[in-house]
């Protein structure tokens, strides 16, 4: 991505930063805060919040939702010396209450998973409420670069079809 100048955002689960596969907490070793700083400073990677523990936000108590939002934001801002203003919902699950809490915690953008609400996967960023809510594509560590490019192509084509644009 750096070689091609393709920017990307990584939504980090702050409780697993630096966790190793050997610890049994994660399936594959995760980058640490030093590596996160290096990525952030590259100008190619932007790091924002995916919660502190990656739980379904709609199943948590109000206090737990606020902790997930605020603790993850605090850790990112403290460790990366940057303003963290984007939150990506784990599993794409959100509701009016979680959205309100995210706003109150200082997040200006909330990222959703397109299929969680629409039933359709592979849609590019379609705004739902101004610039506050956007959809995202889910990229996993097991996907190859070819898989990612194919997913992006599908998303662009599907979005064009839904928007009624010519796909030529």
pTM of the model: 0.79
pLDDT at 159: 67
- Tokens representing 45 are 């990677």
Mean pLDDT is highest, among 22-36, 66-80, 93-107, for 66-80
30 pLDDT higher than 60: yes
Mean predicted confidence (pLDDT) in 38-58: 95
Which residue(s) pair with 161 in the sheet?
A: none
For residue 124, give the 3-state DSSP assignment: coil
DSSP assignment letter at 14: G
């Amino acid at each position: 991505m750096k070689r091609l100048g393709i920017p990307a955002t990584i939504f980090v689960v702050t409780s697993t930063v630096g966790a190793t596969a050997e610890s049994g907490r994660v399936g594959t070793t995760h980058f640490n805060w030093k590596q996160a700083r290096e990525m952030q400073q590259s100008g190619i990677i932007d790091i924002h919040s995916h919660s502190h523990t990656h739980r379904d936000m709609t199943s948590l108590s109000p206090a737990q939702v606020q902790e997930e939002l605020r603790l993850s934001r605090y850790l990112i801002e403290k460790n990366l010396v940057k303003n963290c203003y984007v939150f990506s919902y784990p599993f794409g699950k959100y509701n009016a209450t979680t959205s309100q809490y995210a706003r109150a915690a200082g997040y200006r953008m909330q990222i959703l998973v397109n299929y969680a609400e629409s039933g359709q996967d592979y849609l590019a960023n379609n705004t739902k409420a101004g610039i506050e809510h956007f959809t995202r594509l889910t990229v996993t560590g097991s996907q190859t670069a070819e898989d990612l490019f194919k997913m992006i192509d599908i998303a662009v084509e599907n979005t064009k079809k839904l928007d009624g644009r010519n796909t030529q």
